Structure 1
Amino acid sequence: MVDLKRLAHVVALADECHFARAAERVHLSQPAFSRSIQAIERELAMRLFDRESGTVQPTPAGAFLIARARRLLFDARCLQRDAELYRSSELGDTAFGAGPLPAATIMPLVLPALRRQYPGVGLRLEVNNWQLLYQRLLAEDIEFFVADTRDLPADPDIATASIGRQNGNLFARAGHPLAGTDCRFAQAWQHGLAATRLPTVVKASMAQLAGLPAGTPAALAVECDDLSLLRTLALNTDSVLAVSDAAVQEELRSGLLVQLNVADLPPMFAEMGIVTLLNRTPSPMAQRAIACVRELAQQVNAPPGD
C-alpha cells in the first residue's frame, strides 16, 4: 500500500521542482526527503522524476502518478476534516468568496442572517473578481464562491449551481446630460462607462453598440471591483455606471442616481452562481452558508429568463 505521506512528498517535489525547497515545505531535511522519494520509486518500480537537466521534472510515469496522488490527498484531507467535525458535533468555521456584485447585493443579507443563526461560528468572506476567487477555490483556501459565472472555464474539477439573474442597466447622476432623455448606447459610451470586470460576451456586445471597429475591444473608462467607488464616481462625474439594478437601489430611491433611457440597450444581467469543488463535500457550516445564499438570493435576483 502506498504511503500517503510519501505521496505528499511526491506532490511537493512536483510543485517546487527543487529538492531543497520541497524538503523545507514538508519540514524534512533534504537527505531524508530524498530517501522518501527514492523509497516510493523503488516500491512502484518507476522513475518518477528526471534529475539530470538541472531542474527536477516529473517523468511521464511521474505525471500519471502525481495527478492521482493529488486527488487521494485531497480526499484524505476531506475525510479527516469531516471525521473531526462529526466526532465533536461541531459545525466548524468556514471561508467563502463573493464577486463584486453579490458582495454588494446578496452578502449584506447573508452575513447578518448567518451571524444571527450561528453566533459561535467563525466566518471569513473574501471579496474579489471571479478569476482570483477561482484560484482560491482550487487552492482550497475557500469552500465556495458566488459570482457571475459566464466566463468560468470548463473545468472538470468545479461545479456551478445557478441562483438566478441580476438584471442590470445604465445609470447616471440625476443632473447628467443624458438624464431624462431618450438616448442610444453610443452616446452613453462617449461619457465614459464604469463597471466591474464584465464577461467577454457583454464586452463584445458593448463594442458593437458603441460602433467600434470590428475586432476592437470595448475598453471601459473605469474598471473597478469596488462597487462603492464606482457609485461615488457616477455621483461626482458624468461617467455612466453599468451595474445591476440591485446594486444601486438606495441611490435610485433617494434620487441621486437615475436609470438612463437607452433605446438600443439589449437586456443586461449578471448570471449568478455558486461555485464549488466537484469532489469535495462542503463542511457542515459551508453547507448552511450555501443554503442561506440560495434562499436570500431569491430576494435580490430576478428569476432566470426575466
Structure 2
Amino acid sequence: MRIAVLAYAGVRLMDVTAPLEVFGTAGRLGAAYETVLCSPDGGEVGTAAGTRLVTARGVPEADTLVVPGGPDLPRHALPEGLLAAVREAAPRVRRVASVCTGAFVLAAAGALEGRRATTHWRYAGLLARLHPGVAVEPDAIYVRDRGVLTSAGVAAGIDLALAMVEEDHGADLAREVARDLVVFLQRPGGQSQFSVAARTPRPRSGPLRAAVDAVVADPAADHSAVAMAARAGVSVRHLTRLFREHVGGTPAAYVEAVRVEAAQASLDAGESVAEAAARAGFGSDESLRRAFLRRLGVLPSEYRARFRTSRQEARRLS
C-alpha cells in the first residue's frame, strides 16, 4: 500500500514529515505501507523551514496521495505544476488527503467540489470564500468525505494519518503507532481544533482558575453555581463577577460548553446519546439535545449519525 506525499517549494516541513512518520512507524510495526516523497519536478525541494528534501519526480502509482500545506498557499497563486500533478494523480488513487493549507490545492484542483472539508482555522473563511462549492467546517480536526480527507493545522496531520491507519488496519495498530510516537490517538475528526479550555482566556484569579480546572477535569461532577463558588471560596455573586471579567460569560455557560465538548467526544467514540448525556453530566437526553441545538445547531442523534456514516464508509473501503 503505497503512500505518496507530494512536496513542493515552500512546503511546511512538519506537514510532510508527520504523515511520513505515522505511516513509516506503522510499516515497522507490520503494516504493508511503502512511503514515497515526490514533487512535480523531482530533485531537491526547499521547505518553509529552510530544510531541503530529496524527492522523486512526479506522483507514482499509489493507494493514497497526501498533499501537505505551506504558509504561502492561501494568499499566493498556486504553482501550476503542483495543480497539474494533483489533477493527474487524484483520479487514479483510492484516497486523497491534505494537511493544513494543502486543502487549497485540493480545492483548486477540483477534488473538494461538493464535499465537506476543513483547513487551518486561520484560513477556513478564506477557503470558503474562494471555493463556494466546498462545505468548509472551520473547527474540525479532520473531515472525511467520500474518499477525500482534509485536516487542520500541522499536528492534525498526525491525527489524519492515524485515522487512515485505523481505516486500513484497525484500531489496535493505530493505537500502537500512537503509543510509539507518544501522541494521542483518540482525537476524532468531529472534535474542535481548540478545546473549550484552550479557547478560554486563562483566568488570572487563583480561586477562579481552580473552579475552571475542576470543570475541565470532570465535566459530569456537580458544577452548580453554589458548588463552584464553594470550590473557589467566594460568594456566588462574586464568582459570577469573576467569570464575566476573566472568562467573558457566566459560570453556567462555561460548564455547558465543556459538557457539550465532552458529549461530542463520547458520540465520536460510538456511544449512544443516552450514554453521552450521562458521561458529560447532562441530567437527561433532553438537556443534551437543547444544549446541542443551542451550540452546534444539530441534534445529538444527527451529529452521531454523521460520524457513524463516516466510520461505515471507512470500514467499507478498508
Please say whether Structure 1 and Structure 2 have the same fold, judged by a TM-score greater than 0.5: no
* More relative contact order, 1 or 2 (CA 8 Å, 6+ apart): 1
From the two aligned structures, give the one with the greater strand fraction: 1
Q: Compare CA radii of gyration and give the structure with the larger one.
A: 1
TM-score, with length taken from structure 2 = 0.22
